[in-house]
A and B are shown apart, each in its own frame.
Chain A
Amino acid sequence: MKEIRILYLYPDMLELYGDYGNLQVLKYRMEKRDIQVIIDRYSIGDPKPDFLSYDLIFAGGGADNEQSILAKDLLQYEEEIKEAVRQKVFFLLICGAYQLFGKYYKGVEGNIIPGLAIFDYYTEASTDRTKRCIGNIVIEVNIGEKQTKVIGFENHGGQTHGITTPFGKVLFGNGNQFKDTQEGFFLPHVIATYLHGPLLAKNPEIADYVISTCLTRKYEEKMDLLKLDDELEEKCRKQLLVRFIPVEKQ
């Protein structure tokens, strides 16, 4: 039986927007295909995890207060995490976690929270505390050899700059900055994005991309995933795409 090991970072702190749903979706879709899923959790005070022993590392978004507490904790693993990225362990990073993997986060009062600086981008809070990028969002992504639309919800004050390889092109909503054309950060084994929803719930193609990328790396062969019954997801996507995007643009 194939097995995928997932490390879930700061589950009790980065859990504001139902992002854990991403792991529920991954687990569901893997177990339907007889792939065993092991999810280990790490948070402040736990023993140091062996980052390289995992196939997927996941972290979500949290409240500002908690994010600054955990940033300090995360930084002690800078080298290990860098090595895991080099060895192409899959990273799925949502919202706050996306920001923490960049160079820094500059708060409203000018305070700087240093990031892991694994990627070159950086984030600065919008100077007006009441202004945030909030709302439904649809982006177009090229993933695997396919093009698909990804539907989610964004809620962030931070404006992320310096992205050269975005996750997707914005069709509806804001993106990395107010009224941006691009959203998130992407490498074949890294998806970093502001999309909640959670991200994978309405985007089974992205979920399957994550799963097959992990399997291919681990078992060193390309595997076709068993097709699942995604009728509800397809209907959901159809309903929402009609709502958010004018027909001529679809």
Chain B
Amino acid sequence: MRDTLIILLMKIANFILKILGKQGGNVLGKIAKKLSPNILSTFNINCPVIAVTATNGKTMTNNAIASMLRQAGKHVICNTEGNNMETGILSMFLKTCSLTGKLKADYICLEVDESYVPIVFSKIHLDTLIVLDFFRDQLDRNGEVESLILKLEEFLKTYQGNLILNQDDPNVVRLGYANPQNSKVYYFHAEAYCHATKEITEAGEGKFCPLCKTRLMYDYYQYSHIGKFHCPNCEYGKQESYVTASNIDLEGKEFIANGIPFTMQSESIYVVYNFLAVISVANLYHIDIEDVQKALSTFELNKGRLEKLTIQGVPTIINLAKNPTGSNVSLRLLREDPEPKELLFVLNDKIADGFDVSWIWDINFNELGQVQRIITSGTRAYDMAIRIKTSGYPINIIEAELDLNKAVHKLYQTNVKKYIIANYTALEPTRKEILTLEKELGK
């Protein structure tokens, strides 16, 4: 009785906020949880819940799954904006549920923060969990990757639902062993793309077999520690794949999965991996493959994620990178682009970024091709400039500018193609600055 009353009150509060033109963010969830800690478990859900967790790629994959299901005519509830902790999900439920707490949908798609998976799904029945990857990420905030994996393993020991795992991340495959009773484990895998390497070129995790502690062997690395691996001593890494990508052509923005051709809007290897997760979901829920093809071919990433803009007539690509792997996949685009270009890297060290910027030394800045000028900005502009300088770039092509507005103006003094990488709190302000610049000059 009490929870239904709280839901009703929150619905009214939401209605008032809406009239006032306010979003409310996580506020509703925070209040509701304070009033009743277990309120998340009282919603009436009569459809499959599909969740995505990972270090990188949660938002993109979750939104792509929702768009694929919608393409197939399904009604989907989804935390599109990336509110991926308990109160964020709760807020979204409160906004979308009926007055009696019913969530009417064919599917509920959630991206969930790695450490919140056990909490959220002790309260909601989970039908399918997708785990994409584990990378080092803001160690001062999140702790070591290992402790996150252990938390998930503990949760999965009793989990009975579908488990979709990235077969090319040894830390993720570990999770497939958590509950030997659960046979519903599905792996997706990608064959080597043209820039895959024999040796690891970027920082990675999980070099040892979790079963027998032997050093893992790799046939190839796609990026970071993602690639085809196996244990020379035991069966680890020899799972059967549920979905396999082949003929990956990033320039042509296409690949083949289980013999079926797919096209996409992006030219990044990690988008292929995220899409393999989407295709796995589609196969499990028997979604018409044409709908999947159509959804993926038109799927647009969120703003600031591999976003292509034209500023002052200059082609510009802006991408979020909040950890070494995110930065490395962005820099791969530079490396794989033969044209002359300039780079702006904006690095902040605010609370949401993590205070520790040591991770920038795990970024691989080698051989960026024809980079003619590098500008750094953000609260840690100098740290970034020193980092890049140490990789051997001439000091006279590197400029550090703490003031973002000035940095952006300096960047557009030339008409060479721009690549912009920004970390978490730096992304929106950076985007805003370049869009403002475009408007100013348009006048």
Q: Is A245 an interface residue (CB 8 A)?
A: no
User: Cβ of B356: which chain A residues have Cβ within 8 Å of it?
Assistant: 17, 134, 153, 155, 196
A201 touching B386 by the CB < 8 A rule?
yes
Q: A21-B358, A28-B392, A201-B387 known; A63 and B145 CB under 8 Å? A: yes
Binds A, one of B136-144, B238-246, B266-274: B136-144
CA distance A18 to B402 in the complex (A): 23
A155 touching B139 by the CB < 8 A rule?
yes
Q: Is B301 an interface residue (CB 8 A)?
A: no
User: Cβ of A233: which chain B residues have Cβ within 8 Å of it?
Assistant: 382, 386
**Scoring A residues 1 to 34 as 1 if CB is less than 8 Å from chain B, else 0, what string do you get?**
0000000000011011111110011001000000
Interface pairs A-B: 7 shortest CB-CB: A18-B361, A236-B382, A21-B361, A18-B358, A196-B358, A63-B144, A17-B358
User: Cβ of B213: which chain A residues have Cβ within 8 Å of it?
Assistant: 69
User: Cβ of B299: which chain A residues have Cβ within 8 Å of it?
Assistant: none
Q: Is A136 an interface residue (CB 8 A)?
A: yes
Q: A18-B360, A45-B215, A136-B355 known; A201 and B139 CB under 8 Å? A: no
Binding site for A on B (CB under 8 A): 136, 139-140, 144-146, 203, 207-208, 213, 215, 355-362, 382-383, 385-387, 389-392, 395, 398, 400, 402
Which of B144, B208, B390 makes the CB contact (< 8 A) with A16? B144
A236 touching B386 by the CB < 8 A rule?
yes
User: Cβ of B386: which chain A residues have Cβ within 8 Å of it?
Assistant: 201-202, 232-233, 236
CA distance A202 to B402 in the complex (A): 17
20 pairs from A and B in contact (CB 8 Å cutoff): A12-B207, A17-B139, A18-B358, A18-B361, A19-B361, A24-B361, A28-B392, A45-B215, A69-B213, A134-B355, A135-B355, A155-B140, A196-B358, A197-B358, A198-B358, A201-B361, A229-B395, A232-B386, A232-B398, A233-B382
Number of interface residues of A (CB under 8 A): 36
CA distance A19 to B402 in the complex (A): 25
Work out how many contacts link A and B, with CB atoms closer than 8 A: 86
Q: A232-B400, A235-B400 known; A24 and B359 CB under 8 Å? A: no
User: Cβ of B139: which chain A residues have Cβ within 8 Å of it?
Assistant: 16-17, 155
Q: Is A250 an interface residue (CB 8 A)?
A: no
Q: Is A64 an interface residue (CB 8 A)?
A: yes
A232 touching B395 by the CB < 8 A rule?
yes
B361 touching A202 by the CB < 8 A rule?
no
CA distance A17 to B324 in the complex (A): 11
